[in-house]
Amino acid sequence: MLYQIQTAFAELDAQMLERQTEWAVERFDELAAARKDGRFADLDVFERGARLVELAGGKKWYEQITGGNKQMLTEFVAKNVAAIIEKRNARIVAALTKQGITEIPAFTLYHHGNGYEGFFKVAGHQVTIHTIIAGGYNIQCLHERTLIKAKAAA
């Protein structure tokens, strides 16, 4: 079952890695430019630090960006995206298993938007994938939370 899911999501997963890598490299370059041009030099140390963290996309991204080079950053992004994909796939398998499905044939994935939303039909069931934005004051950074549901197709 996992192989069919990996196969169906392969193109979408590649797009996710490309988008996330592009975003992280843009944050890397923007942060470097801000430090070089002294963009926040007129602010006190606390406010300057807050602006740089915001520019990086959050505390965790700031740590990753300032803790190495672009190669290290792209490796981190690749590991992060792979973990997200693995978790999503495991949750899809769990949702299908909960519905009593243990084997699935090859299927086509239909999605809309940026790829974080979609559905597919398999073995008389529809699996929906809905991604919401999560995070808050004491969360390291704004992040996506993926909700997966499987139910008998009408």
**In the prediction, which pLDDT does 138 show?**
61
Confidence at residue 115, expressed as pLDDT on a 0 to 100 scale = 56
**What predicted TM-score, i.e. pTM, was given to this entire model?**
0.79
Amino acid occupying residue 68:
G
Separation of alpha carbons 12 and 81, rounded Å: 12
DSSP H or E run through 144? strand 143-152
Instruction: Give the pLDDT means over successive 10-residue stretches in the chain (154 positions).
Output: 87 90 96 92 93 92 93 95 90 88 79 67 80 70 78 80
- Which token pair is 70? 């672009």
Domain locations along the chain = 2-152
